[in-house]
Amino acid sequence: MPRNIRVAACHAAPVFLSAQDTTKKALALVKEAAGNGANLVIFPETYIAAFPAWSSLRAPTDNHDFFKRMALESIYADGPEMDALRREAKRLGVMVSIGFSEKVRYSSATLFNSNIFIDNHGDVLVHHRKLMPTFFEKLTWSPGDGHGLKVADTQFGKIGNLICGENTNPLARYSLMAQGEQLHISTWPAIWPTRLPSKAPAGTPAAPPSDADDAALVSSVSNNANYDNVAANRTRAAAHCFEAKCFGVLCAGVLGQDAVDAIASGAGDHVREALEQSQRGATMFLDPTGALMPGFVFDEDGKKVATEHLQREEGILYADMDLEDCIEGKQYHDVVGGYQRLDVFKLSVDRTRHDPVNFV
């Protein structure tokens, strides 16, 4: 089994609510990453074809058209968009993990926040639906099931994925740890606003503009203006890496100007202000202790440039990992083995794929 794996995390924006154009962009990014030696190419939460940030900022009565467009631009897990990605993964000999808004054939409007892991032969190893939509996401997506709580057993090692808030679910995380996970993918949206700038407590300074985010991965909690999603995401991912003794990839989306303009159209100025000021998600790598693992990008001359994270600008962040480095920490706390009391604790996971009816 190969020891080293090159991981490429695509810090990218979709073409807002266009499954076809976003798929074309994804295919181009897969090709670029493969050309730079990547073995695994990762995309953010619901990269195809949007994250429903409108539900966090606009009233539900204003969003019927957005939901309709989201339903029409969501894709089937076995549809032409995913088929194209599978063919490209096979052609280039790379693995692909991609988030997408999934529609199903038994309903015109039941959607799931899903992720698919494709191996280097073009086969789907894991198809996961987010167990529980978080906060305003419930206005778009239905709860998933445990069918996709699996690790992909690849030639490089065992790779798992959880979507956004699922990384706060200790039982979901444990179910992946208990399968020997060595590389954990966590996927995140570009923004996750919880408070309008104008609704901050009296005397609170306005949130800093998004171009200040890159300075120190800090923006929200320091002025009580909003939820610090970067700190929260890194805390969750680092806890998982430390407990599982695995590498971690945080892959966040980018908010494109097309999304800002569309969501702000016809709304009050506060919506555009919130979109423009909301803290941007960060893409980064963590080692098996939960510490930040520096990555790198390639410049125009094809040279490596060390980079700790990507946040405001689009790009592909790379890291080389030796998954055997997961072994040492297991001496101290193997929470699914030598540091577990299997006689005291029992966990049962139902992997049944839930459908609305079973015909017999």
Pairwise CA distance, residues 296 & 306, whole Å: 4
Q: What is the pLDDT of residue 207?
A: 45
Mean pLDDT, the chain, whole residue set: 93
Per-residue pLDDT of 69-108, as tens digits, reads: 999 999 999 999 999 999 999 999 999 999 999 999 999 9
Asked if residues 63 and 53 have their Cβ atoms less than 8 Å apart, the reply is: no
Interval 335-348 mean pLDDT: 94
Q: Burial-class residue 90 by CB neighbours within 10 Å (0-12, 13-18, 19+).
A: middle
Show me where the domains of the chain are located.
Answer: 4-331
d(CA 211, CA 105): 42
Q: Which of 329, 183, 200 is nearest to 249 (CA)?
A: 183
Nearest-angstrom CA–CA distance, 137 and 165: 11
CB neighbourhood size of 110 (10 A): 15
Between CA 141 and CA 62 the distance in angstroms is: 17
How many Cβ atoms are within 10 Å of 281's Cβ, its own excluded?
29
- Mean pLDDT over residues 27-37, rounded? 98
Domain 4-331: CATH superfamily is: Carbon-nitrogen hydrolase (3.60.110.10)
pLDDT band at 226 (very low <50, low <70, confident <90, very high): confident
Q: Is 31 left (phi over 0), alpha (psi -120 to 50) or beta?
A: alpha
Q: Residue 283 to residues 193, 214, 237, 295: CA-CA distances in angstroms?
A: 18, 11, 12, 10
Q: First vs last Cα of the chain: how many Å apart?
A: 44
Distances in whole angstroms, Cα of residue 320 to Cα of each of 4, 210, 231, 298:
7, 29, 24, 13
For residue 208, name the pLDDT band (cuts at 50, 70, 90).
very low
pLDDT at 203 > cutoff 90: no
Q: Which residue's entry shows tokens 């897969």?
A: 30
Q: What is the reported pTM? A: 0.93
The confidence band for 196, taking pLDDT boundaries of 50, 70 and 90, is: confident
